[in-house]
Amino acid sequence: MLGDIRAYLEERGQAPLSDIARHLDVTPEVARDMLELWIRKGKVHRMAATPSCGTSCSQCDPATTEIYAWGKASPQDVFLQQKCSLS
């Protein structure tokens, strides 16, 4: 499954946790645990959809605002530039 994550993220560039979990047919928690291995190896980095996600309204499903990308993170990658759908 780790190879599936690598191939999926290499092809897409980045994806929310919910999409990765759906692709692997596992729960978001299981997918997150597998992604942590790639993060420790420096191959994947985690981003948030916006700087305030997870700290303000708390109405979004965390699995949709937790974004993972293949490759090293750059400073501008910390947050994706998109608006919260509930704001």
Work out the angle at residue 31's Cα, subtended by the Cα atoms of residues 53 and 82, and round it to the nearest 5 degrees: 30
Domain, as residue range, for 10: 2-77
Whether residue 61 lies inside any domain: the answer is yes
Residue 82 has what pLDDT?
42
8 Å CB contact between 37 and 22: no
Distances (CA, A) of 9 to 23, 35, 69, 87: 11, 11, 6, 28
Q: What pLDDT, in 10s, does the model give residues 34-58?
A: 999 999 999 999 987 655 555 556 6
Say yes or no to pLDDT of 24 above 70. Answer: yes
Whether residue 82 lies inside any domain: the answer is no
Domain total of the chain? 1
Whether residue 86 lies inside any domain: the answer is no
